[in-house]
Structures are given as structure tokens and as C-alpha cells.
Amino acid sequence: MADIIFGLDIGTTKICAVVGEVREGQLQIIGLGITPSRGMRKGMVIDVGEASLALATAVEQAEQTSGYDLSQALVSMAGEHISSTNNNGIVPINRNSHGVTADDIEKALDIAQAIPLPHNRQIVHIIPRGFKIDEQDGVRSPLGMHGFRLEVEAHIVTADRPALQNLSQCTHNVGIHSTEFVLNALASGEAVLEPNERDMGVIVADIGGGTTDIALYAQGKAWYTRVFPVGGYHITNDIAIGLRAPYDVAEQVKIQFGDCRPDKIDPEHVFTVEPFGGEKIQVGRQDLAYVIEARVEEIFQVVLQDLKRCGYEGLLPAGIVLTGGTAQLRGIADIAERVLNVPARVAQPRNLLGMVDKLHSPAYATSVGLLRWAMSDNHLYQPRGQQREWGRRVGSLLKTLLPG
């Protein structure tokens, strides 16, 4: 039997609906719908009606290409409202011949997520950073291990409840139930990171239209997450202001002529633009690159300062992996290396089968990552009170293998 997974990447600039079929552990893309986004700004819904109309188009395309009537989906989330913290949970280990069970882990996570939250916030992710049994730390998977006390250090991601309700309203309006929200950077990490990068220490930075979402991985786990309200839109806006041109003209200029490295551009290279007023002007491509370079440098400086503030800047032997539509800018990895002083690469989804021609791009890392997230063991760890089919299925399997 095959399982069908549906992911909705609702971004500031585009909506991507992806249908995957999982058969014997292999993911095949069987349905796809892509449409320009409407009613969104900086990763958040600002017009439910407009966003729902755009979403309906993407969902309809995905249903037509897959041949399935879809009813539930994992949904991406972004926005400055997202925040994170870390907390520990400690429980005694049941004294039995099976050692630590899934129930023990669940109880420890329940205690870890007992943090004070305003009524308008909710937990969306609880991710174990590591486990400790008695005095033995650095435990990655405690299942079946013996001891007297289990401790978990958890990374907890919270979001603004009304913002998530607005996303849910949009999906509900097109007949789709939002079964789970997944932070963009965490979804992208599932699609583009190598296991050795996660182990050594790496950041995935999903640079979209309205936000830059980062997730730092260390010792194989997500260690830290953050969302910054700056992205490709701000680069395009800088160009539009500089050229006194409409936004769509500036966006086309960015895509066609944009580069982050003015020192590598021929000073004699010019192109023609039609700004407001209709009289065409010539613009130096090197001048354009200076404008782009300044904003891209600012994005990575914001990331660097945040890492320094948290004391994590030394945890990146594997560097930074760039995804998102803005990661397609020429030379962006060079700027990331220069500012952060770590290796940098631009990544696209890996190991794809099926309808994948359009998905071989950094812009679709989150879209594919939503499906990979559903296939991963992240569902063993879910916020209190949230029931998910994949989580129940894997959790039940563990309890069968390791009964309490």
C-alpha cells in the first residue's frame, strides 16, 4: 500500500501545492500546482479572500495532476511572529526489562513543553536537542536504554495563534484541513541537508520573498530557529526605488541582470529599463549589483549578529546552506561566505522522483521538504494535544517494538 502526502507551501510570492506518494520508503511526486501568491506579506496572511483564491488555483492543479481529491495537508509557516526557546524535562524511567519506552519520552517532552505562554501563542514544534540518562549525556536515541532518570533538552517553536488561524481559514476555504504547520527552514532542511552536515553543525537559510528563515542543526538535530522579516521583496523594492520603476519591472531586472558581486561585473555592461514616465533609460549592470550586494550583505549581517547574540556562531563547521527563491541570485553564496566566514552553498531538493522538472530549484526546497517532514521521525515528537496520523502510526509501531 502507498501513502499519499499533501504539502502546501504558502509563501509571500508563490503558492506551491505538492502531492507525494510514499511506497516502500520512496517518495514520488505525483501532483503539482504552482501559482503566484496573493493576499500575503512577509509570510503572513493579510487578505484571507485573496489568499484563498490563489490557494484554490494551486490546489486544483495539484488535484488534477495527481488524480486525487485532497482533504488534508501539511502547511508551511513563516513570519516575524514565530519565536523559539529551549527547555528541559526530567522523568523517572519505568523499572522494567525494556528500558526507556516511547511513553517515557512523551512524558519528558510533556514536562519540557510546560512553559508559560500568552493566550495568543501556541507551540507548533517541540524538537529534542538531546537526551541524558542519569549522568550519561549526548544520548541521541534513548529508546531501550536502561537507567533511573531520563532528561530531554527540547527546542520549542511557538507562533501567533491568530496568524495560524488565518492560514487555516484559507485552507479551510478551499476544502483542505491543515493537519500540521511546519516552519519553512525546518521543512527545507529535510529536503536539502546531508546527514554529515547535520552532525557537524550547519545552518539552512530559506530566503524567500518576505522572510529569511534559519534553522541551525548540530549533533544531528535542529538546535535553533529564527525568522527575520527581510527577503527578496526588499531587494526588488530597493531596485524599484533606485530605478523609479514599477515593482514588476524591478523584479524582472533582478532576475535577468541581478548579481551580488559588483567586482565581477564589466563596468561597461548596460541594459535598458522603462521606468515610470515611459522614457527608457540605460542602467549599468555593475551599479545594479552594488544595490543588490548592499541588501544581501544586510541579510547575512542580521543572521550573523543573531548567532553571536545566542553564542552559536562557532557551531557551523559545515557552514550555511541557502534555499528559497532569493538563493538563486548570482553570487549570493559568495556574500554569505564573506560575511559569515563559513562555507556556503546553494541547494535544491535532492533525490526526487516523478513530476520533478519544476522542483529542481532552491525555490521549492520548502515545498518538497513538507513531504519529507511527513516521512521523517519528527512526528514522534509533537506538541501536547496535537494528534497527527503519521505521528500515531510511528508511535504505535515503537510501542509495539518496545512495549511499556
Cβ-in-10-Å burial (0-12, 13-18, 19+) of 55 comes to buried
Confidence at 118, pLDDT banded by 50, 70, 90: very high
What share of the chain has pLDDT > 70, as a percent? 93
pLDDT tens per residue, range 289-333: 999 999 999 999 999 999 999 999 888 999 999 999 999 999 999
Residue with cell string 513563516: 78
Q: Which three cell numbers stand for residue 161?
A: 495563534
166, amino acid identity? N
Task: Give the integer Cα–Cα distance in Å for 184 and 206.
Answer: 7
Backbone phi, psi, residue 72, to 5°:
-150, 155
How many angstroms separate the CA atoms of 338 and 327, rounded? 16
Residue range 5-23: mean pLDDT, rounded: 95
298: left (phi over 0), alpha (psi -120 to 50) or beta: alpha
Instruction: Give the pLDDT confidence of 160-197 residue by residue, as tens digits.
Output: 999 999 999 999 999 999 999 999 999 999 999 999 99
83-160 and 195-346 have identical folds: no
How many CB atoms lie under 10 A from the CB of residue 140? 11
Answer for the pair 370, 18: CB distance below 8 angstroms, yes or no: yes
Residues contacting residue 261 through CB under 8 Å, at least 6 positions apart: 289, 293, 330, 331, 334, 335
Between CA 74 and CA 59 the distance in angstroms is 13
> Taking the domain 195-346, which CATH number applies?
3.30.420.40
Amino acid (1-letter code) at residue 256? Q
Phi, psi of 152 (to 5 degrees): -120, 135
Rg (CA), the chain: 22
CB 32 within 8 A of CB 19: yes
Fold held by 83-160: Dna Ligase; domain 1 (3.30.1490)
User: Would you tell me the crossing angle of helices 48-66 and 161-173 to the nearest 10 degrees?
Assistant: 50
Q: Which amino acid, residue 109?
A: L
- 196: amino acid identity, one letter: N
Q: What is the pLDDT of residue 2?
A: 67
pTM (2 d.p.): 0.90
Helix axis angle for 247-257 and 285-310, nearest 10°, is: 90
Grid coordinates given for 244: 523609479
pLDDT above 90: residue 97:
no
Q: Sorting pLDDT into bands at 50, 70 and 90, what band is 392?
A: very low
Q: Grid coordinates 542602467 are at which residue?
A: 283
Nine-digit cell string for 191: 529536503
Q: Delimit the domains of the chain by residue range.
A: 83-160, 195-346
Which grid cell is 99?
528500558
Of 303, 295, 302, 358, the C-alpha closest to 331 is 295
Eight-class DSSP state of 378: G
Question: Which residue reads 515611459 in cell numbers?
Answer: 278
